[in-house]
Structures are given as C-alpha cells and as structure tokens.
Amino acid sequence: MNNTAFVRVTLSAIRENLSVVRALCKNSRIMATVKANAYGHGLLEVANALESSDGFAVARLHEALDLRRAGIEHRILLLGTLLDEAALATCSRFNIDVTAHDSISVTRIASQATRMPLRVWLKLDSGMHRVGLPPRAFVEADHLLSANTGVIELVHMTHFSSAGDMTTDAMDRQLQCFAECHATNPRAHTSLANSAALIARPETRGDWVRPGIMLYGDNPLGFTEGLTLKPAMRLSARVIAIRDLATGESVGYNSLWTSERPSRIATIGAGYADGYPRHAGNGTPAWLNGHFGSVAGRVSMDSIGVDITDCGPVNVGDEAVLWGPELPASKVADHASTISYALFTAVTQRVTREYRA
C-alpha cells in the first residue's frame, strides 16, 4: 500500500456518456472536449476511449501535439489562445484546426493560410464577452477568411454564458446574434452547443457539438429527466486513523468543528495537496462502507477529518469515497462553493491513478 489517495477512472463510463451524446445529436459531429488533461481524467487514456468521436478540442498547443505524437489522427481543434507565426506553422504541419477569435488572430491565420492550409473556427462573441469577435468584426473576418483559398474549411462558432440555465433572456439574445451573423455566410459550418446547450436546447445542435463535462458523467443542469450519465472518476482515500471524542472536543485547525455528542472521527489520507477542496466545510459528505459520513473540521494538506459516528463499523485501511458514482462530485462542489469541473481538474499528480476498461 504505497499511497493513501487514488483516482479510479472507468473508461467504459466515458464511452457510454459519448453514446448519450450521439443519441441526442444524431445529425451533428462530435468534437469531444479533452482540454485540461481531459478534465483531470487523463488526456491520452480518454482520447483512446473516445475513438468513435469525430474530433478532440484542447486549449493549449502542447495538448494537441501530445495527441498527435500518440498517434491520434482525429480532427483536433485548438480553442482560442495566443498563436504566433511559428505556432500556426505547427498547426498547419500537424493538421490542427485553429480558432480565430480577435483581429490579431484573424490576420495571422489569413497570412499563414496563404502558405500552408488551415481549417479555421471563427468565434463570435455573442454575449459571453470572454474571447470572440463582436458581430461587425466577425462578418468582416468571415469575408476575409472565406475568400482565402488556404482556408480549407470555415466553422462559425460561439459559446453561451448561461451555462447552468438554458432559458435565460441572455441565451436567447446570443442565439439571435449568432443567427444574424451566420446568415451572412450560411455555407459555413456551425458549432454552438456545449454540454448544457446540447442537452436542453436542440436548436443549438449544429454541424458540430462540443460536449465537455457530460462526457465525464456530470450533468451541468443538475437533473434532466430521461438523461442518464455515468460518473467516470472516483476519488478515494484510506482511513489512516480513528479516534473517539467526548462531547465538546474539537477537530482540526482553529477548532472549526466541535462535537455535540460522543463522536467517532476517521482521519482520511487525502487533503488539499491531493486536490480535495480546502473550502469543503463541515458537513461535506463522504462515503464509507455504504454510509455517509461528513467532514469535520478544516481540511488539511494531507488529511481530512470525517465524522463516522453513524457509519457503522469503520476500520483503519478502509476506503472512503470522496466523490464518485456513490457521491456526485457536484454535491461535494456545492459544499465547497465551487463546481465539479474545478474538483476534477485539481486532482494532483501525487494521487495514484488507475484506469479500468
């Protein structure tokens, strides 16, 4: 037993979640989002599991090159980032799609495409105001790029700001903005839908969809009737100590938890240095031997105190599930004032990783 904290990734769950996407978007191609080490699940392992997708979206050039060096021949989309002449030449050489998201990137991509061909995704800022061209500049860039013979494919794309609510006025305004801009060149392919949009708004399922978090088993909308996703990651850690406390005794730094009854506390061998959120407060659930315990006291660098008074028999060496199929990461995230995306991507390298087909 060389480690006390470990992640198990079930690749079959990821493949089944991709099948859910296929069922929802029968007429769309799927650009599976595997940026940030596949949301912490493992870039190459996940890409191989998702071999039936139509492409992979990443956020950094080195991620795209890692896929190519591993023999991945799918379409690869490099999302909006800094691209100089050398980086664009690399994208041309390795057949990596690029994103034009501002006037500088448009000019550089147009220049590069005259020498070496590129597939280009032109991003509209329809209301997110993060990256993307405003409507007038988007139309001008479309005219420039669509007339460039080195641009072998042009995709119109945007991103929605209302990730957790697909019914807002802001969402409708973004859809209208995209429709008006795309109408100036309807020959271009389209890509609008992330996970939330492709679940809740069928009209966003364009030529390409870009699922992310749902591939890993989390529904960004919380619950959708008839939609079943399978969590792929289980973060677990071993119980390294158990102690009994009398009423009025405290646990952890700054005495943030004090027992209101005779209590049994398990010390779990994972902490914020392993990626467990330090801000997970008292009452955050953990799963031990078929029962829910709850975090007691401040999360430490290497350990977590968990109240197991009502958990039945628990022994040193037993496994505590910190999130996974038994305990959704979104529920833990709610207690830590964060989101499951942040939990998944924060798991550190010192955690042992295991992959199951």
Which of these, 183, 219, 217, 182, lies nearest to 198 by C-alpha position? 219
Q: What is the dihedral of CA 206, 207, 209, 210, to 10 degrees?
A: -120
24: number of Cβ within 10 Å: 17
- Given a contact cutoff of 8 angstroms between Cβ atoms, the answer to whether 281 and 295 are in contact is yes
Question: Could you give the 3-state DSSP secondary structure of residue 286?
Answer: strand
153: number of Cβ within 10 Å: 13
Cα separation of 221 and 223, whole Å?
6
- In the residue annotation, 253 being an active-site residue is answered as yes
285, two tokens: 């659930």
User: Annotated catalytic residue: which of 216, 253, 272, 341?
Assistant: 253
- In the residue annotation, 331 being an active-site residue is answered as no
Residue 318: left (phi > 0), alpha (psi -120 to 50), or beta?
beta
Q: Which residue has the tokens 């207690």?
A: 335
User: Annotated catalytic residue: which of 35, 123, 216, 276?
Assistant: 35
- State the catalytic residues: 35, 253
